[in-house]
Amino acid sequence: MAASDGVTVAGEHDGGLVAAAASGGAAGSGDTGVYAISVAAELVGTGQQNIRQYERKGLLTPERTDGGTRRYSENDLTTLRRIGVLLDEGLNLAGVKRVLELEAANRGLTEDNRGLSEHNEELRADNRGLRKDLKAARGGTDSER
């Protein structure tokens, strides 16, 4: 993917305002800010001014040190790469923001759905047990149902 300043960056992912769990790697937790803006810009293949603009537009919010220095996490780098992909696809920053918001909402709904499906399976198992207990209490026949 070519970032807005023409540098090529590999990889594609689902991104989001707060990117999904990142690799963590040597930098530690995926949401711990460890990279200075210059390093983040080099790692994702874009300019520091672009990253500052993305922050002004609300596309990401890096951690800050007590002195106010930006620190970017693995999740922030994932989001920056996703921004580059979306820009390459022709979206403007307002469109990129909306896509990132929708992707984040979609991830949340997917997680909710997964939890509900698991809960539904538990309820089905409980229901099977209750039916078995009811059948036994009725003397083993289902004719009274």
Q: Would you write out the chain's pLDDT as a tens digit for each of its 145 residues?
A: 444 443 333 333 444 444 443 333 444 568 899 999 999 999 999 999 999 999 999 999 999 999 999 999 999 999 999 999 999 999 999 999 999 999 999 999 999 999 999 889 999 988 999 999 999 998 865 554 5
Residue 43 burial class via C-beta count within 10 angstroms: exposed 0-12, middle 13-18, buried 19 and up: middle
Can you give the pTM of this predicted structure? 0.63
Question: Do the Cβ atoms of 9 and 84 come closer than 8 Å?
Answer: yes
Euclidean distance between CA atoms 92 and 96, whole angstroms: 6
